[in-house]
Amino acid sequence: MMSLLIAHVLLFSLQLFDTSTLDFLASMQNPDGSFASARWSDGELGRSTLRTTRTAIRAHRLLGLKVPNQERVVSYLKACFDKESGGFAQEPGLMADPISTSVALMILKDLEQPFEPYLTRATDFINANTSGFEQVRMVAPSCEELGFSLPNAKVWIEQIEKTRNPDGSFGKDLGRARFTALHEVALSRLGIPAAKEQVVKILNEGQRSDGGFGSDSQFGSDLEACYRVLRLYYRLQRKPNNVEGLHAFIDSCRNADGGYGRQPKERSSVHGTYYAIILKDWLNQLKYLEPMLWDFDDVAIGSIPEDWFAARALPERGSRWGVVTSPSAPKGFALQQQSSEGPKRQFNLCICPESARDIQLSVKVRALSGVVDRGGGLVWRYQDAKNYYLSRWNPLENNLRVYKVVDGIRTQLDTAQIKTDIDSWHVVRIVAVGRSIRGYFDGKLLIEVEDDQFSKAGRIGLWSKADAVTEFTEMTLRSATTDDIEEFSE
């Protein structure tokens, strides 16, 4: 039986997947650590490959969990390495190929294994042996994710561009949206940006009456095509026309075992299940393309916004929240942490129902009082009152810090010194994309850190500590991509 902890983790995995989805994924793992995509009609596990194994790893990460039996996964991966060529095969004992080599490098990165010892020979192998669009599109992700370029990339780009239609699309007829998405994502990963409005128009024209997207087949939509198309929407930070229809199509592919087929009534597979998980994740992120703003002017005095809730790390006093009139606030109202009675180790939280992973989140903060502690800040990827990320300003210490809170214990990830007017309003802002976190104070980038403790979506909220009485207003949430990750100036 699955533990209560894992069940609790999945409860917050976009609140979209139950424990049966994880049970299905676990059932597809072989004793050697590899994953099969599906089962044969007799119930036996089908063929395992590196591609399917990486798909399972990514599905687990999106659910906020590590892949089971990681040491066996690594052993399986290493068994696929061909010492003579420097490449990797899709299975142990087969010939190395560029796609499997690209996938292997990404698995090493996903599992935080050293990939540098393989990198030079692997990239030389990829560069020398990649041919045809299918191989090019499958090696482009490792170029992007690991940050390397290949001499033959220019040739590949020219070859792709030769297949473009006069209207800017790729493919034809029913499969035009899918093929355009495949080609544009490959080009983007090789450094060639898409013509945004032109491409979005092509994608919009490809959405079908069942809400999904499909190939050039007449037999309806499928999750693989939906994945290809929505990935490009997400990279362009645009939404399909019929979001609800796409949600409904994804749901129609779910089976009683918790897995998903690529089409309705199709047998569950690792790939189908991964497509469903990441499609739901992207759709959730795209909800926040337009900023959401909370200035608390429509909340009754003394109350907190509807569907928000107060939480605290310890059962002792503290974490009493309510909206107050605040003449210096932009709209005249603020959400205030009002308790000055919290013990030293009390964390006072007020949590919003919105849930996201890659975000830009900011709030105006005014530190009213506090002897043990003062000020406050933002919470994101909140799983429960003892597990989340935190960025907070403390005027008593003159600093801005980013922490992760794991099982109620704070671990500092980075800190920056600040000296500012303690009585004024100040803006705390974070940008979090994947494992990259950037912290800002009054518009200035002060913190740059990497961490992957919480890799999945979680709720957002506000925070103060101990006896810190603090006001918050103009909390703003919007989605973020890697383009929003700023680097410190050299």
The pLDDT tens digits for 81-121 are 999 999 999 999 999 999 999 999 999 999 989 999 999 99
Give the H/E segment covering residue 437. Answer: strand 436-441
Picking from 139, 140, 134, the residue whose alpha carbon sits closest to that of residue 188 is: 140
| Domains delineated in the chain | 4-286 (1.50.10.20), 292-484 (2.60.120.560)
pLDDT of 94 reads 96
pLDDT of 47 reads 87
pLDDT in tens, 349-369: 999 999 999 999 999 999 999
Give the H/E segment covering residue 272. Answer: helix 270-286
Residue 478 in contact with residue 290, Cβ under 8 Å? Answer: yes
pLDDT of 18 reads 76
Q: Name the stretches of the chain with pLDDT < 70.
A: 1-16, 218, 488-490
CA-to-CA separations, 311 to 294, 382, 437, 459, in angstroms, rounded: 19, 11, 24, 13
pLDDT of 216 reads 80
**DSSP reduced 3-state for 447:** strand
SS3 content of the chain, % helix, strand, coil (to 5): 35, 25, 40
* Distance separating alpha carbons of residues 309 and 486, to the nearest angstrom: 32
Dihedral Cα 69, 74, 75, 77, nearest 10 deg: 130
Q: What's the farthest any 2 CA atoms get from each other in the chain?
A: 73
pLDDT of 222 reads 96
As a whole number of Å, the CA-based R_g of the chain is: 24
Tokens found for residue 90: 């899709």
Dihedral Cα 390, 394, 400, 404, nearest 10 deg: -20
Residue 335 in contact with residue 473, Cβ under 8 Å? Answer: yes
